[in-house]
């Protein structure tokens, strides 16, 4: 699985003009299931993100995890993280998991992250979403399992 993790002061996602998920201080997580991914990979990625030390401690050093600082997460499905731009100017997405598997792994990832004790909101799989965020730092990290 792939994820683009952004440390945020706040983030929200809208579908058809209505807010369907939001978080205050914490993480906006864009996640993509790839061909060959499975539930253990989704769980490993969720565990890694929950423990990723990218929040400042009292000295201002990135030393705290999302769990340590008590923040929340907004998880958005993002199949375009599978983009292959190696040929031509139009990205290909053939390495992304099929939609039914992508949905199942997105849900599994999000449920597992929530089970770690992190307040977790989500977008709507496959919907046309409008995502707003205030990137804190900015801190943006690419992860892959």
CA angle 60, 63, 64 (to 5 degrees): 105
Domains and CATH numbers, the chain: 2-137 (3.50.80.10)
- Please state, for a pLDDT cut of 70, what percent of the chain lies above it: 100
Active-site annotation holds for 78: yes
Catalytic residue among 78, 109, 110, 120, which?
78
User: Among 79, 109, 110, 120, which one carries the catalytic annotation?
Assistant: 79
pLDDT reported for residue 78: 96
How far apart CA 104 and CA 63 sit, in angstroms, is: 32
Is there a catalytic annotation at residue 80? yes
110 is catalytic: no
- Mean pLDDT score of the chain: 97
pLDDT digit string, tens, across residues 23-70: 999 999 999 999 999 999 999 999 999 999 999 999 999 999 999 999
pTM of the model: 0.96
pLDDT tens digit sequence for 61-106:
999 999 999 999 999 999 999 999 999 999 999 999 999 999 999 9
* CA 34 – CA 94 distance, rounded (Å): 9
């Amino acid at each position: 699985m792939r994820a683009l993790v952004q440390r945020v002061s706040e983030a929200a996602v809208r579908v058809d003009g209505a807010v369907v998920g939001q978080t205050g201080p914490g993480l906006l997580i864009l996640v993509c299931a790839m061909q060959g991914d499975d539930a253990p990979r989704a769980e490993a990625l969720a565990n890694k993100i929950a423990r990723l030390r990218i929040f400042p401690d009292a000295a201002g050093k990135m030393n705290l995890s999302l769990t340590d600082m008590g923040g929340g997460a907004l998880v958005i499905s993002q199949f375009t993280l599978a983009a292959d731009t190696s040929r031509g100017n139009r990205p290909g997405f053939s390495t992304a998991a099929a939609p039914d598997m992508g949905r199942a792994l997105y849900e599994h990832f999000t449920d597992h992250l929530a089970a770690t004790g992190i307040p977790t909101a989500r977008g709507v799989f496959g919907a046309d979403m409008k995502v707003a965020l205030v990137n804190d730092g900015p801190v943006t990290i690419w992860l892959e399992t």
